[in-house]
Amino acid sequence: PTVPVVVLSNHQSQWETILFYKLVFPVVPILKHELLNIPFWGWALRFQKPIAIDRSKPGEAGRSLLIQGADRIRRGYSIIIFPEGTRSLPGKMKRFSRGGAKLAVAAGAPILPIAHNAGDCWPPRSFIKYPGVIRVTIGAPIETLNKSDAVLTALVETWIAEQLQRS
Give per-residue pLDDT as tens, 70-104. Answer: 999 999 999 999 999 888 888 889 999 999 999 99
Length of the chain: 167
pLDDT of res. 48: 83
pLDDT at 1: 80
Candidates 149, 155, 80; CA nearest to 108 is 149
Strand order in the sheet with 136-138: 51-53, 27-32, 78-81, 6-9, 111-116, 136-138
Which positions of the chain have pLDDT values less than 50?
A: none
Beta bridge partners of 115: 137
pLDDT at 24: 86
**Taking the CA atoms of the chain, what radius of gyration do you get in angstroms?**
15
